Amino acid sequence: MQTKTVHAAGELGLIRWIARSVDKNGRKKKSIVGIGDDCAVVPIGKRLCLLTVDALIDGIHFSQRWSSPEEIGRKAIEVNVSDIVAKGGYPVYALVSLIIPPTFPLKKFQGIYRGIVSAAKARDVEIVGGNLSRGRQLIIDISLVGFVGRKNVRLRSDAKPGDLIMVTGNLGDAAAGLELLRKNTPGFAPLKSKYLKPTSSGGKVKGFIRYIHAMEDISDGLAAEAMHICEQSKVGAVLYPKKVPLSPGLRKASRLLRKDPLSFALFGGDDYELVFTIPSSALPRVKGFVVGQITRKPGIFLSGGNISRPLRKHGFEHF
């Protein structure tokens, strides 16, 4: 008899199970938003505090084969910063928990820490504490504390039917970059760099955040993030595949890799662009690319003009 494992149960299901356990816990919640968004949003006095944690694990979220220690350290900060700016906030304090194998070279460790410190400095984040342990695998687990004004906080749950769905930049580059690195393909430096040196995109929405309803960072592909927004906002969406911004480099790499560039954009990870929704009337005042629209009807559909097909979790059919 096979034992039921965490892997088999699926991560999303587990996270839901956790959320239910916590809810059952029955205590009065102090948080405004708990599990289910990029960050927790908790009131502290008159302010709102954002709390998030993200772990980078060797062999899963990065590989020492192609990422330098500095790049690994930088990425660990940026992916967390991305969660904070996706809620309209700014990061302030970091706790850095490092798990290091017993024989890990000191030079590499120093490189990782240099990356963490320099990314934190660039984002005006103060590293206030941490923890160092030995373990079988290199893990960088960072918790970030940020703030957001009550007027600026943007959640996954605030999309309204009729809203336009927009993204801040090209999608799919990072996922294609990773595949090129894996296959040891020369060239395509911008795609590889998008994967190796992700940067959070908070600056791109600063000028018009007041028009944004729902927002989220794109860490797992546009399809997954659109699903999050639809689930949390209890709405549906139509995505326009032909409107998804794809770089010329991605198109070229996709031909070489014999894949559809759109599959990288919809189902690839690590872009760290932002996806957000706005009322259509705000479009003239907003920068970015319209990639779809929120619908009252639940479910996510890909629309190629006259035909529309339901989005499936791990793939799509061409029009």
Closest CB to a second copy among residues 87, 192: 87
Closest CB to a second copy among residues 102, 284: 102
Closest CB to a second copy among residues 148, 167: 148
| CA pair distance 166, 179, nearest whole angstrom | 26
Paired residues of 148 in beta bridges: 48
Q: How far is the CB of 314 from a second copy (least distance, A)?
A: 18
| CA pair distance 137, 57, nearest whole angstrom | 7
Closest CB to a second copy among residues 95, 256: 95
Closest CB to a second copy among residues 53, 257: 53
Could you tell me if residue 252 is left (phi over 0), alpha (psi between -120 and 50 degrees) or otherwise beta?
alpha
Closest CB to a second copy among residues 26, 186: 26
**Amino acid at position 150, single letter:** R
Q: How far is the CB of 36 from a second copy (least distance, A)?
A: 9
CA 77 to chain centre: 13
Task: Provide the 8-state DSSP code for 244.
Answer: S
Handedness of CA 59, 60, 66, 71 (dihedral sign): negative
CA 280, 285, 291, 297: dihedral to nearest 10 degrees?
-20
Q: How far is the CB of 250 from a second copy (least distance, A)?
A: 27
Closest CB to a second copy among residues 12, 307: 12
Contact 103, 134 (CB under 8 A): no
Residues 6 or more apart whose Cβ sits within 8 Å of residue 21: none
* Three-state DSSP state, 230: helix
Q: How far is the CB of 242 from a second copy (least distance, A)?
A: 35
Q: How far is the CB of 127 from a second copy (least distance, A)?
A: 5
∠ at Cα 159 (292, 49), nearest 5°? Answer: 130
